[in-house]
Structure 1
Amino acid sequence: MGNWWYRNIVEPGKLPLFLALTAFIVSFVVIRVITRMIKAGKGPFRNVTPGGLHIHHVVPGVLLTVGGGFGAVASGDHGLGAYLSAVIFGAGAGLVLDEFALILHLHDVYWTEQGRKSVEVVVVTAAMVLLLLSGFLPFGVNDLSDTEQQDRLAVALNVALNFLVALLALTKGKLRMAVIGVLVPPVALFGAVRLARPESPWARRFYRHRPRARATARVRADRHDARWTAVRRKLGDWVGGFS
């Protein structure tokens, strides 16, 4: 365990990222517990409403994120300042993304169906940071040799190719595969070669005069949603506290 910690966290300078991720998860969990208690009318916590104005926790989250971000830029990669800034930034990001749906809809949808987007965004963000901590680098350029790293053209072509594959998966309606595929290219490639979802831009453009492809896409999408939507909903209910 000690060797893994030094090899993957301390030695490559990933400790600030690890601290930020830890603070991000902790702040999300803590604020979800507090909001559940407020909703249930339990405990000492209440909504902050000075002068009748409801202050959502995205507000202190933005302040912490801005402060932690500027602090990290000013502190560099190492030292107590960098570590403290990472914790502040992670805690602020957790508060902000917990109300991502409110920012998206510009309306308090925290406990509604639309509010589930906040939980999904938090889970995807945490997963991506975990991948970075595990050794993945964006666009799959971490496997290049020393000679290949010196060849900027090869690196640029590799980045561009993986970006296009992720973009193709996105146009086919595979949002999660596209996002994860930025860090793990095979995931985006799998989404790119699969049949597009019927409501995706790709399907509207290329399946318009292909009724058989549209029908097959609809059957596959319905089958996939029937299999996984209930699972995602239960997970979201458990994490987000939806009733």
Structure 2
Amino acid sequence: MMGGAVRNWFLREIVDPGKLRLFCFFVAFILAFLFIRVSVRMIRAGVSWWPGNISPGGTHIHHVVFGLVFMCLGGIGGLAVTDSRSVTAALLAMLFGAGTALVLDEFALILRLQDVYWTEDGRLSVDAVFVAVALCGLALLGVSPFEVGQAFTADQSGRLLSRDEVVLVIGTNILFAALSLIKGKVWTGLLGIYLTPLALIGAIRLARPGSPWARWRYRSKPYKLARAQWRDRRIREPVQRVKRAVQDFLAGRPSA
């Protein structure tokens, strides 16, 4: 009975709305990230029975290389599949998701062009993975970016928004999200792409002390800079400590 209920839910919420490939991508992304983090932590710990790094001819091949190959195979293959509900489409989406996880797990390495995997800078890779999981999860829940879904969905009276209204809705969302990012609120800005009220909160609240907005706007307003610094110490730092603890638990603690 439980299996039938789960199957009916899966068909109703995932297959019928056309989200099968996105769901497969999401699952494969999470599983691949967890696997590769277990793998690198085993290698770091020097576990004898776990396969080590792949280094043919002394060249360490980072897993971002395999990720790029998987993304190319899954992405190009997925474009060639016309039936989005087929098993082939689901498998290719999973391959693309696994490849994306491997690439984002070394995002900091790609950005810095040096091996910072186990340094403090390497936390940026985990942040990138967390953001991708959050955005993909919101998409699975049916939340559309920049309020696009609302813009092209008829209201209760059957009326669609005009072109000018669509531009206003999407443009406002983009503006709020961009302001949040300029104010140094990365999570708020990125999630605000899907959740306009969150982007609005980030846009009207004080900027972070080291953000571009603070450098431009708070130089002549020391009281605002002081308030921003106080908020950063009082509110953001405790949240950051919790986030670091979660990162260390899932991905391993960076080297001192």
- 1:183 partner SS: coil
Deviations 1:20-53 (A, max 9, x none): 1111111111111111111111123111111110
In structure 2, the gaps of 5 or more residues are: 1-5
Q: Is the 8 A contact 1:119 1:239 kept in 2?
A: no
More displaced, 191-200 or 139-148?
139-148
Assess if the C-alpha contact under 8 Å between 2:15 and 2:85 holds in 1: no
**What is the aligned partner in structure 2 of residue 180 from structure 1?**
191
Using the alignment, how far apart are the partners of 2:112 and 2:12 within structure 1? Answer: 42
1:5 aligned onto 2:16? no
Question: Is 1:72 aligned to residue 104 of structure 2?
Answer: no
Aligned-partner Cα distance in 1 for 2:183–2:238 = 19
Residue 112 of structure 2 aligns with which residue? 105
How far 1:150 sits from its partner (Å)? 5.7
Question: Are residue 200 (structure 1) and residue 211 (structure 2) matched?
Answer: yes
Question: What is the distance in 2 between the residues matched to 1:202 and 1:162?
Answer: 18
Query: Could you tell me how far apart the structure 1 residues matched to 2:216 and 2:161 are?
Result: 40
The one-letter code of the counterpart of 2:120 is E
Name which of 186, 194, 202 aligns with 1:191: 202
Distance 2:99 2:190 in 1: 22
Q: Are 1:26 and 2:37 matched, yes or no?
A: no
1:87 is aligned with what amino acid? M
Contact 1:58 1:99 in 2 (8 A): yes
TM-score by length of 2: 0.90
Amino acid at match of 2:113: L
Gap runs ≥5 in structure 1: none
In structure 2, what is the equivalent of residue 134 of structure 1?
Answer: 141
1:37 matched to 2:42 = yes
CA contact (8 A) 2:32 2:102 kept: yes
Structure 2 CA distance, aligned partners of 1:153 and 1:6? 36
Which whole-Å CA distance do the structure 2 matches of 1:2 and 1:149 have between them?
34
CA RMSD of aligned residues (A): 1.5
Aligned residues: 243
Q: Any idea what SS the aligned residue of 2:17 has?
A: coil
Q: Per-residue CA shift, 1:45-93, capped at 9, x if unaligned?
A: 1111111100000001001011111111111333233112101100101
> Which of 22, 25, 35 is the equivalent residue of 1:17?
22
Q: Percentage identity across aligned positions?
A: 47
Q: TM-score, normalised by structure 1?
A: 0.95
* Equivalent residues of 1:149, 1:155 under 8 A apart: no
What is the aligned partner in structure 1 of residue 56 from structure 2? 50
Q: CA deviation at 1:105?
A: 0.8
